[in-house]
Amino acid sequence: MTKEYSVIGKSQVKVDALEKVLGTTKFAADYNLPDMLYGGVFRSTVAHATINSLKLEKAKALGGVEAVLDFHDIPGKNRFGIIIKDEPCLVDDKIRRYGDALAVVAARSPEILEAALALIEVDYNEIEPIFTFERALAADAPIIHGTTNIHQVKHLVCGDVDAAFERSDIIIENTYSTHRLSHMFIEPDAGIAYYDDEGLMTVVASTQNPHYDRNEVASLLGLPYNQVRVIQAATGGGFGGKLDISVQCHCALLTYHTRKPVKIVRSRSESTMVSSKRHPMIIKAKTGASRDGMLMALEVQMTGDTGAYASYGPAVITRAMAHCTGPYNIPNVRADATFVYTNNPMGGAFRGFGVPQVAVCHEGQMNQLARALSIDPIEIRIKNAHQIGSKLPTGQILENSVGFIETLEKARAKAEDVL
Amino acid sequence: MNKISISLNLNGTDRTILVYPNRRVVDLLREDFKLTSVKEGCSEGECGACTVIFNGDAVTTCCMLAGQADQSTIITLEGLAKDGELDLLQQCFLDEGAVQCGYCTPGMILAAKALLLKNQSPTEAQIKLAMSGNLCRCTGYQKIHAAVKSAVVIYKDKMAQGGESID
Ligand code: FES
Ligand code: FES
């Protein structure tokens, strides 16, 4: 007997769809206010360096330019970051990636803005840039943040892995690597800051994270939270890539100094250059199983590149660890994960937080095991599948809603249908 | 550089404007005419977010200079609904759930509209080809194609009953 619901099980028109098909929805770049200035960012063209000099005078002297600011102009804290505050709004100590923000400009037209940005001069003192995991861990490698390039290390141990490998009939060993990915949300980041009628610093932005943005803008400007308001404009896709700060702090800082509305719209290339990325990972896996295809042991070593700033790195490493067995019962597990800082683009949130990376590994292992044991690939998965009552290597018991076997059966039926 | 005078028919109204000849049509529409349904996603002709119907064809306005718009007819999404009544394609995009973030939607609807203006009973392959210049990062395209197909079917039914033509 199926119950009739008014909404569940029925196709619904999205609440905001009408405006979207009419073209009246306002995305961040569609906002315009009287007296509005156009903001832009002067960015580094090297990945690792200290700054000998940053010359802003010529840009400041250009007619129509209302503000040219560097880190000295930040009234509050010059560090943000969703979990670890390690990213500057404007570089103060050193450049850690290609595209780091060095200065911001507000001008009366986009043309003047472009001309002013071209007048800024910087002299770098370059440091060896670190682009690989191996180099990041070398004893003589320059340190990107603090005292070590190791961003996080995690371990997970469950059962007796060595003994289980001894008893295994077959062992499969492989190394998998996954690459850096860009979200490519179709709307490049954009936002506008202004003081509202009550004098509240207000930022309207393309964002997935307005509450977090509010806190960062307040901390940057040294304002209490109740003096800052962040409004999410209709947002043209994010997929995790709009959880970090993009234009919010730069807009707000320019408005703070000019007292005027300031809009920043990133170009596609600027957006792609500095937004977060999916963490590239290298995963070494050793899987032990019995002759009849029952998984017995798993040993995993994973390394990940969080790039220049932490962003959601600590969450990604944790999720990758917790999901390293995939949806399979493996009684004995040993997993070690190390994430490092490099001078690459920042790794961050991206649909799945590390889980898609480890999926490449556990599914690759299952396929190889199936082939080596001449067992049907779906059969071997069903044999080892999580069900209600399964215990994960983290100790969690799955108490309800484990639809894996059902999904596999349906996928098999569908495949038989089409193939 | 001197400004030039441009005259065009924009969403059914004759307009004349002074602009620099190197102004891109996307800026002309968004900034000068405040038609912000025209979106910018890539600025190099790849994503189709800036698509309008230009002299009957779907074109990307980020790759066009204002001078090219002189004496042209341009339709943006703002020009599609008539007297508050949705265009058939707009209705089908709603009904089929073809809209998620909505940033690609104006370009998608206009690309489809340009196709239907020329070919009232396109094949599936023709629909796919006509929409191939428009990227969507959210929907996975299935529902967008379903929306266009359903518009074609509904239109055929209407015509069979002696309805109005598509434009
Ligand atoms: S903005 Fe014109 S095609 Fe992408
Ligand atoms: S609905 Fe978001 S890009 Fe198409």
Least distant ligand from the CA of A267: 1
* Mutate which: B43, B103, B104, B105, vs A, most A CBs within 10 A: B103
| Interval B3-22 mean pLDDT | 96
Assess if residue A160 is contained within a domain.
yes
* CA distance readout (Å), A115 to A42, A61, A106, B42, B98: 11, 11, 11, 22, 41
The tens-digit pLDDT sequence of chain A (419 residues) is: 567 898 888 888 999 999 999 999 999 999 999 999 999 999 999 999 999 999 999 999 999 999 999 999 999 999 999 999 999 999 999 999 999 999 999 999 999 999 999 999 999 999 999 999 999 999 999 999 999 999 999 999 999 999 999 999 999 999 999 999 999 999 999 999 999 999 999 999 999 999 999 999 999 999 999 999 999 999 999 999 999 999 999 999 999 999 999 999 999 999 999 999 999 999 999 999 999 999 999 999 999 999 999 999 999 999 999 999 999 999 999 999 999 999 999 999 999 999 999 999 999 999 999 999 999 999 999 999 999 999 999 999 999 999 999 999 999 999 998 88
Tokens standing for A155?
């371990």
CB neighbours of B17 closer than 8 A, spacing ≥ 6? B5, B6, B28, B32, B33
pTM: 0.95
Q: Which residues lie closer than 8 Å to A271 by C-beta, 6 or more apart? A: A188, A189, A246
E strand residue ranges, A273-413: 277-278, 281-289, 295-307, 332-341
- Report which ligand 1 atom has the smallest distance to the Cα of B47: 4
- B95/A237 touch (CB, cutoff 8 Å), yes or no: no
What is the structure's pLDDT at B166? Answer: 63
A332 vs A159, A168, A285, A289, CA distance in Å? 4, 11, 13, 11
The answer on pLDDT for B165 being more than 70 is no
Q: What is the pLDDT of residue A117?
A: 98
Assigned token pair, A390: 């399964």
Q: Which of A228, A232, A237 is nearest to A191 (CA)?
A: A232
Q: Whose CA is nearest to atom 3 of ligand 1?
A: B45
- Measured between CA atoms, the residue of chain A closest to residue B100 is A17
Q: Which residue of B has its CA nearest to A21?
A: B90
Structure-token pair, residue B38: 């025209």
Query: Which region holds residue A61: left if phi is over 0, alpha if psi is between -120 and 50, else beta?
Result: alpha
A14 CB near a chain B CB, below 8 Å? yes
Nearest-5° Cα angle at A307, A304 to A309? 120
- Section B54-77 average pLDDT: 97
| CATH no. of B88-160 | 1.10.150.120
- For residues A347 and A356, what is the distance between their CA atoms, to the nearest angstrom? 14
Ligand 1 lining (C-beta closer than 6 Å) = B 40-43, 45-50, 60, 62
pLDDT at B70: 96
In-domain check, residue A18: no
| DSSP, residue by residue, chain B | ---EEEEEEETTEEEEEEE-TT-BHHHIIIIIS--TTS--SSSSSSS-TTEEEETTEEEEGGG-BGGGGTTEEEE-GGGTSBTTBPPHHHHHHHHTT--SS-SSHHHHHHHHHHHHHH-SS--HHHHHHHTTT---SSS-SHHHHHHHHHHHHHHHHHHHTT-----
Check residue A64 and give left, alpha or beta (phi > 0: left; psi -120 to 50: alpha): left
The CA distance from A264 to the nearest CA of chain B, in Å, is: 14
Predicted pLDDT at B83: 85
Among the atoms of ligand 2, which is closest to the Cα of residue B100?
A: 1
pLDDT of residue A11: 86
Interface test with B, best of A14, A18, A186, A351 (most B CBs within 10 A): A186
B42: which chain A residues are within 8 Å (Cβ-Cβ)? 268
In chain B, where the domains are located: 4-79, 88-160
- How far, in whole angstroms, is CA A97 from its chain's centroid? 15
pLDDT of residue B162: 77
Check residue A93 and give its pLDDT. 95
Please name the member of A11, A24, A27 whose beta carbon is closest to the beta carbon of B103: A27
ipTM confidence score? 0.96
List chain A residues with CB under 8 Å of B95: 13
Average model confidence (pLDDT) across chain B: 95
The alpha carbon of B48 and the centre of ligand 1 are apart by a number of angstroms equal to: 5
Into how many domains does chain A fold? 1
Domain with A293 in it: 134-181+276-418
B32 touches chain A (CB under 8 A): no
Residue of A nearest to B84 (CA): A22
So what's the pLDDT on residue B1?
83
Q: Domain spanning B4-79: which CATH class is it, in words?
A: alpha beta
Measured distance CA(A409)–CA(A48) in Å, rounded: 51
Question: pLDDT band for position B161 (50/70/90)?
Answer: confident
Instruction: Give, in order, the Cα–Cα distances in Å from A188 to each of A159, A184, A304.
Output: 48, 8, 26
In whole angstroms, what is the distance from residue A362 CA to residue A375 CA?
Answer: 16
Q: What is the CATH number of the domain that holds A409?
A: 3.30.365.10
Q: Measured in Å, how far apart are chain B's first and last C-alpha atoms?
A: 39
Has residue B164 got a pLDDT over 90?
no
Residues B27-59: tens digit of each pLDDT: 999 999 999 999 999 999 999 999 999 999 999
Give residue B107 CA to ligand 2 midpoint distance, Å.
10
Asked if the C-beta of B8 comes within 8 angstroms of chain A's C-beta atoms, the answer is no
Predicted pLDDT of residue A274: 97
